């Protein structure tokens, strides 16, 4: 498997005027990002409205992205479901579609019904033992314990950890305590320089759909140890990062529309942006070069 390192885009999912997957726009969006140095794509994650997609739609989306993606892009199939059985079905479909990794989220149902770390560990190990693809654990807020993540990092099929909003402490401790070769990826865009200093291998950032070159410039400044430049570029993008974190897929799609990529409408029940939120995105983009 290729080394997990760099900036990854959790792809936004385009829908047509009837709310169906828009295949032509999937292809054009991926082909646009193929021209960048992004390391790869996460498909059907939360930024891509994955919880609002049926299993059949996820498989359809994975196949469309695989067909359009350049050969040098690493592909992660995002799986968020409650049962091991469904996770394994989706994992098999992702492998058949030609993906490289699974991005697997801990289930949310039955929280508190028995020891949470035990259930988390059982879920990830049960999928990892039987899935055809290696797994990157997706940690959202408090849905994965630090000690559990570190234990799971020893599993030969669990190769990384993606820490999203609310999981900064987990990210930092996992980067320090995980075994060599285990990739920790940040989902916290405002502190990319700090994440790199803590040992993160890269980041999975929704903003990469709209401003890939800006994020790659930050990554390059970090790589070449131009600390002041990395901090300045991160600071310049901070208003957009904050807006996208609050406004979700609808905000991301508006930013994409403003930057010449197809965003379109978010899927119901996600509401459209109001005029104030649209202006906020527009103002946040004003100081970021296209």
Q: Tell me what the mean pLDDT of segment 268-290 comes to.
A: 93
pLDDT in tens, 14-53: 999 999 999 999 999 999 999 999 999 999 999 999 999 9
Question: End-to-end alpha-carbon separation of the chain, Å?
Answer: 33
Residue-averaged pLDDT of the chain: 92
Q: Helix (H, G, I), strand (E, B), or coil: what is residue 101? A: strand
Residue 274 lies in a domain: no
Which of 13-17, 143-147, 162-166, 174-178 has the highest average model confidence (pLDDT)?
Answer: 13-17
Q: What is the pLDDT of residue 103?
A: 97
pLDDT band at 114 (very low <50, low <70, confident <90, very high): low
Q: What is the pLDDT of residue 195?
A: 84
Residue 273 lies in a domain: no
pLDDT band at 156 (very low <50, low <70, confident <90, very high): very high
pLDDT band at 197 (very low <50, low <70, confident <90, very high): confident
Residue 218 has pLDDT above 60, yes or no: yes
Angle between helices 84-96 and 116-130 in degrees, nearest 10: 30
Residue 90 lies in a domain: yes
- Is the dihedral angle over the CA atoms 135, 139, 145, 146 positive or is it negative? positive
Tokens (6 digits) for 33: 């990002």
Asked if residues 135 and 157 have their Cβ atoms less than 8 Å apart, the reply is yes
Of residues 2, 3, 8, 6, the one with CA closest to residue 220? 6
Strand (E) or helix (H) holding 165: none
How many domains does the chain fold into?
1
Of residues 212, 204, 189, 205, the one with CA closest to residue 260? 212
- Percent of the chain past pLDDT 70, that is, above it, reads 94
Q: What is the pLDDT of residue 279?
A: 97
Residue 255 lies in a domain: no
Cα 11 to Cα 22: distance, rounded to the nearest angstrom: 13
Q: Tell me what the mean pLDDT of segment 169-175 comes to.
A: 81
Residue 216 lies in a domain: yes
Residue 263 lies in a domain: no
Task: Residue 149: give its domain's CATH number.
Answer: 3.20.20.70
- Percent of the chain past pLDDT 90, that is, above it, reads 75
Residue 191 lies in a domain: yes
Residue 195 lies in a domain: yes
Q: Is the peptide bond before 252 cis (omega within 30 degrees of 0)?
A: no
pLDDT in tens, 123-139: 999 999 999 999 999 98
Residue 111 has pLDDT above 80, yes or no: no
pTM equals 0.94
Residue 26 sits in which domain range? Answer: 6-225
pLDDT in tens, 222-275: 999 999 999 999 999 999 999 999 999 999 999 999 999 999 999 999 999 999
pLDDT band at 142 (very low <50, low <70, confident <90, very high): low
């Amino acid at each position: 498997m290729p080394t997990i390192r760099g900036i990854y885009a959790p792809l936004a999912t385009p829908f047509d005027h009837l709310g169906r997957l828009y295949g032509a726009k999937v292809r054009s969006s991926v082909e646009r990002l193929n021209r960048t140095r992004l390391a790869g794509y996460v498909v059907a994650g939360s930024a891509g409205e994955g919880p609002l997609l049926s299993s059949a739609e996820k498989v359809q989306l994975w196949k469309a992205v695989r067909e359009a993606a350049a050969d040098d892009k690493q592909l992660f199939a995002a799986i968020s479901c409650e049962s091991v059985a469904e996770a394994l079905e989706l994992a098999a479909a992702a492998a058949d579609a030609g993906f490289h990794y699974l991005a697997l989220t801990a289930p949310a149902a039955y929280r508190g019904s028995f020891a949470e770390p035990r259930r988390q560990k059982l879920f990830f190990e049960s999928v990892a033992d039987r899935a055809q693809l290696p797994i990157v654990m997706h940690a959202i807020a408090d849905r994965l314990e630090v000690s559990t993540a570190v234990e799971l990092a020893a599993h030969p099929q669990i190769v990384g950890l993606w820490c999203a909003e609310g999981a900064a402490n987990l990210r930092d401790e996992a980067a320090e305590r995980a075994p060599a070769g285990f990739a920790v990826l940040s989902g916290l865009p405002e502190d990319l320089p700090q994440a790199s200093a803590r040992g993160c291998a890269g980041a999975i950032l929704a903003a990469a759909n709209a401003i890939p070159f800006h994020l790659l410039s930050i990554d390059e400044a970090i790589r070449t140890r131009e600390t002041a430049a990395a901090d300045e570029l991160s600071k310049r993008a901070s208003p957009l990062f904050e807006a996208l974190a609050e406004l979700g897929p609808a905000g991301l799609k508006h930013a994409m529309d403003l930057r010449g990529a197809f965003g379109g409408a978010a899927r119901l029940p996600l509401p459209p942006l109001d005029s104030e939120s649209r202006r906020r995105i527009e103002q946040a983009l004003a100081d970021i070069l296209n």
